[in-house]
Amino acid sequence: MKKKLKHYIPHMVIGLWILAGMQFIYGHYIKENQDADIVEAFSSFGLKNQESLIESIGTYDQEYLELSQRKPYVISIANQLGITSDYEIESIYEVPRSEVKLIKNARQAITTIQFVTMEHEMTDGTIKTDQYVIIKIQIQEDLNSAMKYKDLVDQWMQTDTKDHNTTINLKGSYKGKIDLDARNELSDKLLATMNGIVVSEHRDMELYTIYGYTDRIKEYKETKGGRVNLNIAMNYDEGQDKTFLYFASPVVGFDY
């Protein structure tokens, strides 16, 4: 949809991570994934403080949603995901980015649902408007429920969005600082459990990350090095005296 620009504010870069960054990260996919293998593999490594993060972003595929309709729409998404009470809603209406965000804090999970509207100035002086739905569910301990919520989010995204991409991220920790040899042994075993191969890697104590591919997962991201649908990362937190292990498909969404 296009509309004439009345008051252009020259900071269009605000929020463009949603359009550019997220689409770059998620890349190209083929559907029909088998993420249960990831949860099973990760759960067998004896990590403490396990948690999972489901992230999905899709382009809103219906008619332009007016300001007055956005809050009810976000609430309707929450209801379909089983969230009916005790949530908070935040709204930001600015140019070029506006957002309605619903936040639900539960005992073992934090869910956020965002409806984002981006305005892009065109060369002919008009504004092109794009709208997105972003859903994130962070779950403590109960990794098995991660697959249930991923499937639920995927099913909903197929109804009102197009080009949606969903990732599953797993995180756990070991007590103490794990040296490089031990990190390599853990990573190699984790890849072997998934019948995965290394596509690219950077293995040292400052930055430890491996990108891999397995044909046991049908989803993948195209990179210069080839197809990627596995990502392993590790880091050490001195304050907590813990080494954190991250395992994701296709790439890690946790901060580390």
Residue 20 DSSP label:
I
pTM: 0.77
3-state secondary structure of 136: strand
> Are 172 and 42 spatial neighbours (Cβ–Cβ below 8 Å)?
yes
Decide: residue 11, CB within 10 A, 0-12 exposed, 13-18 middle, 19+ buried: exposed
% of the chain at pLDDT higher than 70: 86
Tell me the angle at which helices 144-160 and 36-43 cross, rounded to the nearest 10 degrees: 160
Residue 99 near residue 109, CB atoms below 8 Å: no
| Confidence grade of residue 26 (pLDDT, cut at 50, 70, 90) | very low
Question: For residue 248, what are the contacts with CB-CB under 8 A and spacing of at least 6?
Answer: 38, 167, 168, 169, 170, 230, 231, 254
What's the rounded Cα separation, in Å, for the pair 242 and 183? 13
- Give the model confidence (pLDDT) of 126-177 as tens digits: 889 999 999 999 998 778 788 888 889 989 999 899 888 888 999 999 999 9
